[in-house]
Amino acid sequence: MAIDAERIRFLYRTEQGRIDCATWLKGAGALAAVIAPFFLIWLALSPYTEHDLAKDPFFVPMTAVAYSFVLVYAFAILLVAVCYVNLSAKRFRDLGQPAPVALAGLAPLVALIDGATRWLQPRVAEVMPIYWVWGVDAVLVGVIAWSVYELGFREARSPELS
């Protein structure tokens, strides 16, 4: 199966155009397949980011590797988020939504906020209880479920109704 560069460019580099639900499901699945290895590597490297100078030497090679990887991982997350917004905007436009780009950016925005709360909470646990993280998790699950239903399973309105 050859990769069609023009098709990839259409799906991920611009928010213009329309796609059906099957195309959105395949495109979103491809984005998930791109980010999944980064996530798994991060799970393995994240313990090395705990660095206490009172107990550890100044330079720990695995800590440097972990923080170098997190820069690459952050870039990959942002790139996938932009591609997701472009892909989803096409699908929202096909559904006849009035603000397709704004709706397409909702899931990545909530996911980034969720990631920020997960990172921040252990560092400021005395002023930010874990319940805040759980609340954002619940909102993220709801937004993802709504997005998958709307974009992956709901049929477009007929042209004469638009």
The SS3 of residue 95 is: coil
| Tens-place pLDDT, residues 15-64 | 899 999 999 999 999 999 999 999 999 999 988 888 777 787 888 888 89
Give residue 45's pLDDT. Answer: 93
Model pLDDT, residue 162: 41
pTM for this one? 0.87
The gap from C-alpha 66 to its chain's centroid, in whole angstroms, comes to 20
pLDDT of 146-160, one tens digit each? 999 999 998 866 554
The C-alpha atoms of residue 45 and residue 57 are separated, in whole angstroms, by 18
